[in-house]
């Protein structure tokens, strides 16, 4: 643990903060048992995520891509939000101005009760029609492969930002507003290497925010932040959030 502040000092600062922004990554979901789908343990039928999560892969073989996403949905459906997710819901209710930015697509923040949030990489429980563009919730497990739109019959795709695609402009604008106006930024379970989220700590720091990191190991953010606590999100985040 390397920090200029103690857990109790950050807790006191959060108790008195009017404006709080939170950025979460795979680390908070890992504490609910959700694999990262990256690296050696992320292989599925000899495919890597980078080979499947792209517009080109979907154009070549939509059924194969949907088989992978159905497998992921089945894994995620069995998982529940953990203590870190629920602590952030408490923080949302406490802070006058609160916004949660998540890189996760598993929907666990929404399942825990978070409502003020941007899912900047999308949500695995949403589908988008490739023909009419409608976006809908879809929690079918298993999902029919390939799924079709109930409105126009077009092919559905996961409402996920794939490799080679840009994040939604409204999500970026809302996130930047939250980062530039917050008193405290909490960064939880993200390594800080995927852009644009990797730049979010710097954006908040430039506006004078106190930046706090919670992660298992040091990250690219660690040298920049004001406080860095090393451990599991489910253990540390509840200690930081006032009850």
Positions marked catalytic: 121
Distance, CA of 212 to CA of 196 (rounded, Å): 18
Distance, CA of 138 to CA of 151 (rounded, Å): 14
Q: Comparing C-alpha atoms, which of 214, 226, 62 is closest to residue 145?
A: 62
Token couple for 109: 């923040």
How many C-beta atoms surround the C-beta of residue 126 within 10 A? 18
Order the strands of the 156-160 sheet from edge to edge.
Answer: 135-137, 122-129, 156-160
**CA-angle at 114, arms to 141 and 192, nearest 5°:** 90
Distance, CA of 194 to CA of 121 (rounded, Å): 11
């Amino acid at each position: 643990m390397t920090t200029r502040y103690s857990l109790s000092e950050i807790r006191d600062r959060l108790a008195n903060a009017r404006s709080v922004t939170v950025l979460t990554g795979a680390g908070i979901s890992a504490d609910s048992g959700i694999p990262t789908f990256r690296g050696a343990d992320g292989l599925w039928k000899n495919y890597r995520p980078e080979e499947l999560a792209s517009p080109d892969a979907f154009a070549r073989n939509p059924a194969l891509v949907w088989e992978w996403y159905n497998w992921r949905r089945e894994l995620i459906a069995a998982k529940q939000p953990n203590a870190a997710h629920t602590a952030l819901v408490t923080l949302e209710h406490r802070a006058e101005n609160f916004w949660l930015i998540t890189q996760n697509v598993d929907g666990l923040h929404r399942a825990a009760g978070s409502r003020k949030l941007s899912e900047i990489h999308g949500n695995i429980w949403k589908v988008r029609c490739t023909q009419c563009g409608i976006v809908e919730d879809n929690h079918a497990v298993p999902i029919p492969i390939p799924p079709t739109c109930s409105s126009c019959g077009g092919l559905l795709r996961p409402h996920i930002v794939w490799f080679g695609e840009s994040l939604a402009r409204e999500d970026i604008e809302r996130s930047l507003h939250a980062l530039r106006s917050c008193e405290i930024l909490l960064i939880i379970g993200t390594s800080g290497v995927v852009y644009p989220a990797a730049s979010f700590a710097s954006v908040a720091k430039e506006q004078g925010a106190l930046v706090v990191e919670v992660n298992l190991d040091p990250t690219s953010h660690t040298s920049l932040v004001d406080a860095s606590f090393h451990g599991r999100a489910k253990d540390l985040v509840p200690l930081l959030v006032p009850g």
